[in-house]
Amino acid sequence: MRRTLAASRLDLVGLHSHIGSQIFDTGGFDVAARRVLGLVAQVRDELAHTIDQLDLGGGFGVMYNSQHTPQSPETLAGGIAEIVVRQCRELELEVPHLSFEPGRAIAGPSTQTLYSVGTIKDVRLGGPHHRLYVSVDGGMSDNVRTALYDADYSCLLTGRVSDASPEVVRVVGKHCESGDIVVKDEYLPGDVRTGDLISVPVTGAYCYSLASNYNHVPRPPVVAVRDGEIRTLIRRETEEDLLGLDVG
């Protein structure tokens, strides 16, 4: 900041803080706001400069599964604003203009991924315990977060109603890798069968943007749905797309 203030072509207007992802309460923002505002006060006292922009980043949690309990944007924003106002009062600072980056919180819940069920394998775990492995026509090529980050997703039977008793399933992909898991553990109706559709909610963030052609599997399309109408945003990849870069 000293170097910035000494540079004739730069104007220091704000500070930025980012503390991580999948945050479900304001505790971490409390610590971050106190530290950053303490720095604002230090700049005021030592460098005689006023900073009036504060970006506290993003990381607001989303409901990837039924155990996640995200707060509403209004609750989070109100709690963080209260923290900032209180700390500014203690430091005798003017309350800065606050910015946030709720990218995942907006994009994540907007989208779900639909898969077709292929092979179903019943694996006995000893005694009466067993698990159904449900393979689908996708996997780590369209959602690498489970393998890469140990992300924990949920899933739902889509397209029909079932009264069958629930069974614990593991949804796996088609890539022939031990890490090719989409959903680690979730309940689906015990009569889930080949050809069924299942959906994995909250895949609008960090899924398509991290997708790849792993094992030369084409990426799926992205389709918008509104008022019963569908619109293709990104078309499905084809084999021609995969071979299009070949020069020979």
- Number of domains making up the chain: 2
Q: What is the pTM of this model?
A: 0.86
- Structural domain boundaries enclosing 137: 112-214
Contact (Cβ atoms closer than 8 angstroms) between residue 55 and residue 36: no
Per-residue pLDDT tens digits for 212-222: 999 999 999 99
Q: Has residue 241 been placed in a domain? A: no
Q: Has residue 230 been placed in a domain? A: no
Give the residue carrying structure tokens 């090719």.
180
CA geometry: angle 7, 8, 13, nearest 5 deg = 75
C-alpha count within 13 angstroms, C-beta hemisphere, residue 194? 4
Residue 201 shares a structural domain with residue 129: yes
Give the residue carrying structure tokens 């898991």.
181
Q: Which CATH number belongs to the domain containing residue 18 in this structure?
A: 3.20.20.10
State both tokens at 229.
């109408």
Per-residue pLDDT tens digits for 105-136: 999 999 999 999 999 999 877 777 788 999 99
Examine the fold and report which residue of 50, 78, 107 is the final residue of a domain before the chain moves on. Answer: 107
Q: Which CATH number belongs to the domain containing residue 151 in this structure?
A: 2.40.37.10
Q: How far is CA 189 from the centre of its chain?
A: 26
Residue 52 shares a structural domain with residue 124: no
d(CA 31, CA 26): 9
Give the residue carrying structure tokens 């922009």.
53
Residue 189 shares a structural domain with residue 145: yes
Q: Has residue 128 been placed in a domain? A: yes
Q: Has residue 207 been placed in a domain? A: yes
Q: Has residue 247 been placed in a domain? A: no
Q: Has residue 132 been placed in a domain? A: yes
Which sequence positions are flagged as catalytic?
176
Residue 126 shares a structural domain with residue 154: yes
Q: Has residue 235 been placed in a domain? A: no
Residue 33 shares a structural domain with residue 62: yes
AA identity, residue 130: H
Q: Has residue 201 been placed in a domain? A: yes
Per-residue pLDDT tens digits for 18-69: 998 888 888 888 899 999 999 999 999 999 999 999 999 988 899 998 888 8
Residue 10 shares a structural domain with residue 47: yes
